[in-house]
A and B are shown apart, each in its own frame.
Chain A
Amino acid sequence: MQNYVIKKEDLNKLVERALDDYDVYAPVQKKSIHVYDQISDPASMDLNYGQTMTSAKKLFNPPVENMMTFDFDKKEIKDRLEDTIPENPSLIVGLHACDINGLLFLDRVYGGEYDDLYYQKRREKTTIIGLNCLESCESGFCRSVNTHIVFEGYDLFLTPIEDERYYVNVGSPKGDRLITLAPDLFEEATEDDVDAFRKSLQKKHESLPVEFHLDNLMETLDMAWDDPIWEEIGEDCMNCGSCALVCPTCYCFDVVDEVGLDLKESTRKRKWDTCLYYDFALVAGNHNFREEPEARLKYRFYHKMRGAVHDQGIIACTGCGRCIDACPAGISFLDVLAQLQKNWASAPTIEGGN
């Protein structure tokens, strides 16, 4: 496998050239936070970021999208798939390993027995330049859930190495194409570069903490259904849904028909939804399977950490820490899991981990 190196300053040149062909998205600083935003000038991207407030999920599964239109007079359905997909291919620069793992999870949800073409087509048209984190961000706990590493799902993956350069792993033919776009900016990695790469990985492994053990989580959750912690955090939770909205792997959606002002047609839209909302599990006859706020918050934990394993084979949490930062009630996903493991320990818990 051929690997490359690129100077940090040359990455901006690469992005500059890519702007002709791609819609480019990158982390951008807005006041005190970072978000993924479309950029038209490489200078506005800031790869020296901890975590973005919202995840890159919105670029693949937007908060609202038009699915199809119904023409009432002609009694016809028009599939809006093609016009909901952006015309230009997209390039995302600087996606961290946790978020790429988030996409790998969404790939499973939106694939499988039934294809979700709205997601899949966007995914196909997107090129991803990943970025390795050598230090932990403030609230993230990626290493505890094994998402600090990623082997697929990106096209190029950058690891900062000495002398203000990046070591470049190529993950796909789309990555190859980016390199041919600017062959003058990339150099083939030498043995010294591989050495530098290894040093960076060492640094990463020394600096990223393990905060709880994933291995006995399934057993813990199976035992912890009636744990008093749910009532405790249920009392604080406002069911605002912020935790799910910022999460890279929360994928619940609602579907609504909106009638146009001319009353000639209606559009079926899908919108982000969250299991925290009151009517999420409400059925006819006003029977609510999760009536209490506590039941809905608990369900979020069980779906992500238990249900997803049944359904997709992996947990639906990348340890990105966004839900912790976003929660107005100060509920920490990590602390709750760590506490449950302490209460129900069937395997050693991490000393000092809380």
Chain B
Amino acid sequence: MQVEVKRENEYVPNLAVLKNRTDMTELETLFEFEFKDKDLQDHFSYKPGQFIQLSMFGIGEAPFSISSTPTRPGTIELGIRRAGDVTEAIHRLEPGDVVGLRGPYGNGFPLEKIKGKDILIVAGGIGLVPLRSAINYIIDEREDFGHMTLFYGACLPEERIFVDELENDWPSAPEVDVLQTVDECHETWMGNVGVVTTLFDKYEVDSENTVALICGPPVMYRFVVKELLDLDFRRDEIYMSLERRMKCGVGKCAHCQVGHKLVCKDGPVFTYFEVQRLQEAI
């Protein structure tokens, strides 16, 4: 259930403490935060695919997809790549340090709507961050969904994130297939080599009763969507999460406008049907 926690001033974040950090790659770390306020700890809920605004005091605020699942409440996990001022500062945090969080914002993946369907997930690189929330949600609510297949592509084996779940937890969950590929590799890599779309040759996807959730770098979308359309996926059953510069997260600053929609309020998850109608979207 989505409980709304009303704040007086929407822009003022709530304080949260870093509980844990797990380095995943050279650039990406998983951070686990807990709200200071006990009430918020208990009542804060969100949908997979929604995002949060994180404040590093004195440096700035930036949007991050929530990578944990609401089915495992208590803390919020964010998988963050070092990219600039705010993210560098986040990477310097130690357990016990305090940040600000506000949200959740955005629409999230339409998990209610796709109940009972088979699900194909295509993730590229750090695009797995929001999708991990959906994957673990589906695993936790297993009987509500059909078969789940994950295609994951990264540039190099050591650039993969959530490796433990990719290798162990997810493949061993019921009704889940996981296929990975890397663009380039060393001798130690025994798996697939090639961009994520090459996995479509290796695994038979039945588009009947299947929806696709995709997230990755902008270049990935066009190629993946082409594969999906060739397999007869319906344009409104291909869901993609878009990324834009954001300042407010609540539809006021216009930074995230794409065509005639706002990524923060109308998205970040759009169907391919919608995306096609948005100028400059992909």
In the complex, per-residue mask of A88-120: 1 if CB is within 8 Å of any chain B CB, else 0: 000000000000000000000110111111000
Asked if B245 and A282 sit within 8 Å, CB to CB, the answer is yes
Query: Which residue on A lies nearest to B245, using beta carbons?
Result: A283
Asked if A255 and B244 sit within 8 Å, CB to CB, the answer is no
Chain A, range 98-155, C-beta contacts under 8 Å to B: 109-110, 112-117
- Rounded to whole Å, the gap between the CB of A287 and the closest CB of chain B is 7
A67 within 8 A of B: yes
Residues of chain A within 8 A (CB-CB) of B259 are 302, 307
B218 within 8 A of A: yes
Residues of chain A within 8 A (CB-CB) of B260 are 302, 306-307, 309-311
Known: A75-B15, A77-B100. A289 touches B244 (CB 8 A): yes
Segment of A21-29, A273-281, A346-354 in the binding face = A273-281
Chain B, range 58-102, C-beta contacts under 8 Å to A: 58-61, 81, 83-84, 87, 98, 100
Asked if B84 and A311 sit within 8 Å, CB to CB, the answer is no
Known: A67-B11, A68-B12, A70-B58. A255 touches B280 (CB 8 A): no
Q: In whole angstroms, what is the CA distance A115 to B251 when docked? A: 10
Asked if A79 and B8 sit within 8 Å, CB to CB, the answer is yes
Residues of chain B within 8 A (CB-CB) of A113 are 250-251, 265
B194 within 8 A of A: no
Q: In whole angstroms, what is the CA distance A295 to B255 when docked? A: 14
B117 within 8 A of A: no
Asked if A303 and B247 sit within 8 Å, CB to CB, the answer is no
Q: In whole angstroms, what is the CA distance A281 to B259 when docked? A: 12
Asked if B243 and A255 sit within 8 Å, CB to CB, the answer is no
Query: Which residue on B lies nearest to A116, using beta carbons?
Result: B252
B195 within 8 A of A: no
A252 within 8 A of B: yes
In the complex, per-residue mask of A301-326: 1 if CB is within 8 Å of any chain B CB, else 0: 01100110111000000000000000
Query: Which residue on B lies nearest to A289, using beta carbons?
Result: B280
Residues of chain A within 8 A (CB-CB) of B280 are 289-290, 295, 299
Q: State which size class the interface on B falls in.
A: 35 or more
Asked if B254 and A252 sit within 8 Å, CB to CB, the answer is yes
Chain A, range 247-284, C-beta contacts under 8 Å to B: 251-257, 259, 266, 268, 270, 273, 275, 280-284
State the majority secondary structure of interface residues on B. Answer: loop
Residues of chain B within 8 A (CB-CB) of A289 are 244, 258, 280
B253 within 8 A of A: yes
Residues of chain A within 8 A (CB-CB) of B255 are 252, 254, 273, 280-281
B9 within 8 A of A: yes
Asked if B60 and A303 sit within 8 Å, CB to CB, the answer is no
B13 within 8 A of A: yes
- Rounded to whole Å, the gap between the CB of A290 and the closest CB of chain B is 7
Q: In whole angstroms, what is the CA distance A225 to B278 when docked? A: 11
Residues of chain A within 8 A (CB-CB) of B245 are 280-283
Residues of chain A within 8 A (CB-CB) of B58 are 70, 72, 257, 259, 266
Query: Which residue on B lies nearest to A309, using beta carbons?
Result: B260
- Rounded to whole Å, the gap between the CB of B127 and the closest CB of chain A is 13
A285 within 8 A of B: yes
A64 within 8 A of B: no
Most buried by B among A117, A256, A284: A284
Residues of chain B within 8 A (CB-CB) of A311 are 251, 260-262
Q: In whole angstroms, what is the CA distance A299 to B260 when docked? A: 10
Query: Which residue on A lies nearest to B282, using beta carbons?
Result: A289
Residues of chain B within 8 A (CB-CB) of A253 are 247-248, 252-253
In the complex, per-residue mask of B94-120: 1 if CB is within 8 Å of any chain A CB, else 0: 000010100000000000000000000
Q: Which of A79, A116, A285, A309 contacts B83 (CB 8 A)?
A: A285
Asked if B15 and A251 sit within 8 Å, CB to CB, the answer is no
Question: Which B residues lie at the A interface, using CB under 8 A?
Answer: 8-13, 15, 55-61, 81, 83-84, 87, 98, 100, 217-218, 243-245, 247-248, 250-255, 257-262, 265, 279-280
Q: List 8 A-B contacts (CB under 8 A).
A: A68-B11, A68-B12, A72-B57, A77-B12, A113-B251, A282-B245, A284-B83, A311-B261
Question: Which A residues lie at the B interface, using CB under 8 A?
Answer: 67-68, 70, 72, 75, 77, 79, 81, 109-110, 112-117, 225, 251-257, 259, 266, 268, 270, 273, 275, 280-285, 287, 289-290, 295, 299, 302-303, 306-307, 309-311
Known pairs A77-B57, A117-B8 / 5 extra A-B pairs, C-beta < 8 Å: A70-B57, A81-B9, A116-B10, A268-B55, A289-B244
